[in-house]
Amino acid sequence: MQPSEWTRVLAKYREPILSRSIFELTVTLAPFLALWAIAWWMLSISIWPAMALAVLNAAFLVRVFMIQHDCGHGAFFKNRRIGDWTGRILGVLTLTPYDVWRKTHAIHHASTGNLDRRGIGDMPTLTVREYRDKRWLGRFLYRLVRNPFFLFGVVPFYTFFLQNRLPVGLMRSGWRHWLSALATNAAIAAVLGLLVWLGGLKVLVFVFLPTMLIAASIGMWLFYVQHQFEHTSWEREGNWNVQEAALHGSSYYALPGILRWLTANIGVHHVHHLASRIPFYRLNEVLRDHDILTRCQRITLWESFRCARLHLWDEESRRLLSFSDARALPT
């Protein structure tokens, strides 16, 4: 089946189920808040079990973000206003201004895999030729950004704690995005101020920060592996097609069951890009009814770790290569 035909085939899965959406929101927020409360209480006994619970709770915060993600696509509630306000409230928990993120993420969906429209909502990716044409400083900086310790350690902190405080990428796009960023900042400040007032700085340092930092790193890894794999797809504008890019430039990250649940099926990313209005809890229906999609761009958890060494797109072989592989190519 051609990629363009999948959009029509998948349209029947787009309808959100209200009771299911409420259920998924409840079974995500309830344990998240409960673990937060228990970790806070554990601080009065020992820091270490409190931090362990905070790290565990990062998995539920990832799921909170994925629900916010579905709200941004209009996939979680049929009523768009309810979905948007749910997303805005969850954005305070994820340190993400909802309306800013929704816009930049829409740009990502509209331009993923397009070599001539890189820069917003994607991972910095150079072609082999572009990398070779850079001076030593440009190469050094690109290597730094693509280094796994930097990419999954420093970049998540920068993204969620610093970049999200302003409508980066949309600075001149009107008051709505500034309002989204500043209102989210005010709400975050109020929540954190209340936490410090009630529990002191220890709550921030040993509960809030571990949860947020681990969740941010997990989220960055998921976003990375969904598009940065060896046989992904990048095209120049003239040859680029949104459905082709969706199917061939997005992975099916075949995770174990508990990880699929905690990540809200975001690993079924090729289907998500083909039809972003499908609620995450209906993606399993798609795979059940269309087995062929379980074999497209499939990456297992073990295989995914090798993706961290891939950094440069080779337009000749149409593969993402490591720096050493690119070095071996003829100039």
Predicted local confidence at residue 2, as pLDDT: 74
Give Cα 45 to chain centroid, integer Å. 35
Predicted local confidence at residue 196, as pLDDT: 94
Give Cα 246 to chain centroid, integer Å. 15
Predicted local confidence at residue 154, as pLDDT: 96
Over 80: is that where the pLDDT of 225 sits?
yes
Give Cα 282 to chain centroid, integer Å. 19
- Through-space distance between the first and last CA atoms of the chain, rounded to whole angstroms: 38
In tens, the pLDDT along 9-37 reads: 999 999 999 999 999 999 999 999 999 99
pTM: 0.95
In angstroms, rounded to a whole number, what is the distance separating the alpha carbons of residues 59 and 5? 35
Beta bridge partner(s), residue 254: 300
Neighbouring residues of 269: CB distance < 8 A, sequence distance ≥ 6 = 226, 227, 250, 251, 252, 253
Q: In terms of DSSP H, where are the helices of the chain?
A: 3-10, 18-42, 47-72, 80-93, 98-111, 128-133, 136-146, 148-149, 155-157, 175-199, 201-203, 209-225, 242-248, 257-262, 269-274, 283-289, 301-304, 323-327
In angstroms, rounded to a whole number, what is the distance separating the alpha carbons of residues 40 and 46? 10
In tens, the pLDDT along 289-328 reads: 999 999 999 999 999 999 999 999 999 999 999 999 999 9
Over 80: is that where the pLDDT of 4 sits?
no
Beta strand pairing call for 126-127 and 312-314: parallel
Q: Using an 8 Å Cβ cutoff, are 210 and 54 in contact?
A: yes
Beta bridge partner(s), residue 321: 312
Predicted local confidence at residue 169, as pLDDT: 87
Region 62-67: mean pLDDT is 98
Over 90: is that where the pLDDT of 121 sits?
no
Predicted local confidence at residue 319, as pLDDT: 96
In tens, the pLDDT along 196-213 reads: 999 999 999 999 999 999
Q: For the chain, what are the domain ranges?
A: 3-327
Q: Torsions phi, psi of 144, nearest 5? A: -65, -50
Q: Rounded mean pLDDT of the chain?
A: 95
Region 88-107: mean pLDDT is 97
Predicted local confidence at residue 7, as pLDDT: 85
Beta bridge partner(s), residue 252: 268, 298
- Predicted confidence band at 262 (pLDDT cuts at 50, 70, 90)? very high
Region 202-227: mean pLDDT is 97
Over 90: is that where the pLDDT of 120 sits?
no
Q: In terms of DSSP H, where are the helices of 226-309?
A: 242-248, 257-262, 269-274, 283-289, 301-304
Over 90: is that where the pLDDT of 173 sits?
no
Q: Torsions phi, psi of 254, nearest 5? A: -80, 85
Give Cα 299 to chain centroid, integer Å. 17
Over 90: is that where the pLDDT of 261 sits?
yes
Tokens of 141: 């900086």
Predicted local confidence at residue 157, as pLDDT: 96
